[in-house]
Structure 1
Amino acid sequence: MAEPGAVRRLRAVLVPLALAQFICSFAGSNMNVMINDISADLGTTVHGVQVAITIFLLVMAALMLPGGKLTDRFGRKRCFIAGLAVYGLGAIISAIAPNLAVLILGNSILEGVGTALLIPPVYILATVLYPDLATRARAFGAIMAMGGVGAAAGPLIGGLITSVLSWRAAFAFQALVIVAIVLLSRSITDPLPADRSRTVDVTGAVLSAVGLVLVVSGIQFASKNVWLMVGLLLAGGLTLVWFFRSVRAKERAGQEPLIPTIVFRDRASNLGLITQNAQWLVLMGTSFVTAVYLQVVRGYDAIQTGVIFTSATAGLLVSSLAAERLARRRPQRTLIMSGFVLTTAGIAVLLGLVSAYPTPWASIPGLLLIGLGLGVMLTPSVNIVQSSFPEDLQGSISGVSRSVSNLGSALGTAIAGTILIANPAGHSYAIAMITLAAIGLVGLAAATLLPRGKVAGAS
């Protein structure tokens, strides 16, 4: 049993790590309720704001792989602090942005780069500091709870700040949180020494980033030009094939690739990555579609939209904070399957009640179920992936895990936004939500293939 002093030190470390995940997830969803305000202030459109949101999520996904690798060379804490600094600068630039281009520079580019630097160390540190499955479930539960709350409560917090002050103040809020995290991070001690002899696979980093950008961009252009979409998707797919061939070639030559192929040879981890991607795709896609629907169709302002999202936030917070207790009682496979069932049912309830009743309260039961479902499965999915590999591969698998999750976030916004733009006057909102529910079922199918493992802490 750990000494009380050691327990306190681990808790002190967990606070800045969880806050870091919170603010990064918050940044991905809080702009959803600022769409009308930002559009009017910067002279752009709903699609312009959607592009900014998607670029932010895409930059995170594209750079998370090299971001995870840099932690091996320069150290977890150093990369964490550097990421916070870049993110904070981006938040300040976004707060004073005079047009959409500067907003994209601050929010989409700099905050995205900062996130790619600081998030992999969060999960590496949690994995190596909490050695057994039960305590690691508690740590991941707290981190994923804050991440989920950041994504789900982003509309509420962003709506409150936007309504009381302005959308610019929401970025100032992010900068203040970053300062607080930096101060709290003084208690973090890197348990693994940096290894300056580790090389960075620049070719692999470029190919992986370009491939991911092309794929998501292809989906983004689906509603405008089918041939452009096909061309971008094909180019992205070929680039990613080139990336994996490059990785294999470097391994055969005895060189260190961006990501060792061994991280893709574990069946449980691969299935866990699929469930992670589906979870964040559904979360961010649902958040975007619902926020746009409430503002554009129902005419609600930022704070009204944010208040409606409170039910999803409450559900996600309750189930995420129960992660350790649930992990002790149920296998992780069962929790992930249950989460997808609840989330898909929540989407069905949301569609049924919103179409039948014009009141804003009609959205609450469905959003609550979606929040509960996502909270149940976020932590076990991460735990399965991170726990499948030893400490020397934590930098690589953490980068892959976060890249896959953020790719899901980017795809969620891109797919949902594309459907809305393609048919703005028809049943596009329902179609978008049905599409997200179908993706949830794909995640459920992947979860059923996970191994039937023991519960955390079981002998």
Structure 2
Amino acid sequence: MTTSASKSGALTAPGSSMVWPLALAQFIASFAATNMNVAISAIAEDLNTTVFGLQTAITLFTLTMASLMIPGSKLSDILGRKACFMGGLIVYGIGALLAALAPGLGLMILGYSVLEGVGSALMIPPIYILVTVWFSDLKTRAKYFGLVSGAGGLGAAAGPLIGGVVTTAISWRASFLLQVIVVGVIIVLARKIIDPPREGARPSFDVLGAVLSAVGLFFVVLGILQSRTYGWLGAREDFTIGNTVVIPKGGISPVWLFVGIGALFLLWFFLHIRSVERAGRDPLLHLRMFGNRVANLGLGTQTVQWLVMQGSFFVISVYLQEVRGFNAIETGLMLTPTTVGILGASLAAERFAKRHPQRWLVVAGFLLTTLGMGLLLALVREDSGIFSFVPGLLIMGIGLGTMLTSSVNIVQSSFPDSDQGEISGLSRSVSNLGSSLGTALAGSVLVAAALPGGQSFALALGTLAAFSVVGLILAFLLPGRTAKV
């Protein structure tokens, strides 16, 4: 299996065989982010810990992955994309094995929260870099980004179902062992991956920049996640550190304390990379990554897409369990129309890209997603049949699958191959930020709006639909056609 050079000198991959391990890796990383939710009670009982302890582990996984995505992406430029991808898989697999064998919460946090988070941050950026440098044609990229994005959406949507089935039929430990097996398969499939040589000198690693960006993103995401407990404005309860009340109930929410600390570190990070650039050295992230209007709008739509997708999955899953009394398996099955819609639209990405500009695919995606959410709000009631969910979930899935691929294509294609490492890390970071914001926002609305029946869930879903409209506005601001690089 070899690459070939086109007349323009660009390297092209021989086909989809090398993309499958990348898609499987994206699937397993997305699966890990959602399957734990349905097994919390079983894991807590087995490890003799609390549900709060397991929620902390899930939060730390999100924080680790989000805060290290940009440094992990930079390492792909230094160590090589394939080396970074394989290294991330190994770290992830070791983490999953430790989590499967964990006798207590400590080893669970080390395996799942730390090692799986670090592994994800190492292996995810090379996925999008390799697809971009392998396929120079925008429509072909759309096809394979569709495969990868579809796998990610499928993992996020099917995570609760697969996790629920495995936990119920065997054990929650088997769910982690399943991840180990899949990672082993990916490593075998990925041995023949060809990493096109990077042009120019190998960059150095900006250690201070990596620390500042990681700490800044850590506190921003941590602050967002605190909104589920304390709310966005006034603190719902005392915020304490140790035995000291730092912010009393009714005071400003500690969300803004953490976000403010994160913002200060990110400001320091931007000042640092500007100084490094002026000195002629290699920064962790070049400032030109933020100067491309098309890419910035694409990053904005990506953020909103993941916010809406993860927030909606959270609201619908909790509604099905709390109001309708469904168990984990039934809840996962109810989300099947969304899974089918995401997968079908993602697999049709190349066909869509041949017929329509990327901008209109993002616009259509937001329109369909908003329509699907509207149908859920209009048709679903406490006593309505299960088929009342199908139209809204299916249309929402088609919308998400249509635009996830296009937004990634727009962002990655806005920069030359030499910048793919940096833009890939930035792109994955904003997606993680959107995911965290979506679940936190939905959770805080559910807690704040203690309304009878399913009204609080309707309010939360309506809030997410409003963000979908914001994404639609950003999509309309994109240029009609994305220039090739």
Shorter-chain TM band: over 0.9
The residue number in structure 2 matching 1:105 is 110
1:187 aligns with 2:192: yes
1:79 aligns with 2:107: no
- Deviation of 1:267 (Å): 0.5
Higher alpha-carbon deviation: 371-380 or 447-456: 447-456
Higher alpha-carbon deviation: 127-136 or 322-331: 127-136
The residue number in structure 1 matching 2:473 is 445
Alignment of 1:313-332 (within 5 A): 313-332=339-358
- Equivalent position amino acid for 2:330 in 1: Q
The residue number in structure 2 matching 1:342 is 368
The residue number in structure 2 matching 1:155 is 160
Q: What TM-score does the superposition give when structure 1 sets the normalisation length?
A: 0.92
Report how many aligned residue pairs link the two structures: 453
Of the three residues 6, 15, 30, the one matched with 2:20 is 15
2 CA distance for matches of 1:433 and 1:99? 36
- Equivalent position amino acid for 2:96 in 1: A
Higher alpha-carbon deviation: 137-146 or 192-201: 192-201
Instruction: Pick 1 or 2: higher relative contact order, CA cutoff 8 A, min separation 6.
Output: 1
1 CA distance for matches of 2:353 and 2:37? 33
The SS at the match of 1:355 is coil
Distance verdict in 2 for CA 1:168–1:379, change over 3 Å: same
The residue number in structure 2 matching 1:374 is 400
2 CA distance for matches of 1:197 and 1:454? 29
- Equivalent position amino acid for 2:445 in 1: I
Bigger Rg over Cα: 2
- Deviation of 1:196 (Å): 7.9
Computed over aligned residues only, the root mean square deviation of the Cα atoms, in angstroms, reads: 2.3
Higher alpha-carbon deviation: 92-101 or 58-67: 92-101
Q: Which runs of 4+ in 1 moved over 6 A?
A: none
- Equivalent position amino acid for 1:444 in 2: L
8 A Cα contact 1:54 1:410, kept in partner: no
8 A Cα contact 1:318 1:372, kept in partner: yes
The SS at the match of 2:15 is helix
8 A Cα contact 1:73 1:194, kept in partner: no
- Equivalent position amino acid for 2:376 in 1: L
- Equivalent position amino acid for 1:433 in 2: L
Of the three residues 433, 436, 442, the one matched with 2:464 is 436
- Equivalent position amino acid for 1:430 in 2: A
Q: What TM-score does the superposition give when structure 2 sets the normalisation length?
A: 0.88
Of the three residues 180, 183, 192, the one matched with 1:178 is 183
Gaps of 5+ in 1: none
Alignment of 1:124-139 (within 5 A): 124-139=129-144
Percent identity (aligned): 54
Alignment of 1:268-417 (within 5 A): 268-355=294-381, 357-417=383-443
8 A Cα contact 1:35 1:49, kept in partner: yes
Distance verdict in 2 for CA 1:455–1:389, change over 3 Å: closer
- Equivalent position amino acid for 2:186 in 1: I
2 CA distance for matches of 1:216 and 1:114? 19
The SS at the match of 1:187 is coil
Distance verdict in 2 for CA 1:9–1:453, change over 3 Å: closer
Query: Which has a greater percent of helix?
Result: 1
1 CA distance for matches of 2:216 and 2:269? 8
Deviations, residues 183-208 of structure 1 (Å, cap 9, x unaligned): 00111011124988521111111111
- Deviation of 1:83 (Å): 0.2
- Deviation of 1:419 (Å): 3.0
- Deviation of 1:216 (Å): 1.9
Distance verdict in 2 for CA 1:103–1:425, change over 3 Å: farther
- Deviation of 1:9 (Å): 4.0
Distance verdict in 2 for CA 1:91–1:277, change over 3 Å: same
8 A Cα contact 1:336 1:381, kept in partner: yes
The residue number in structure 2 matching 1:69 is 74
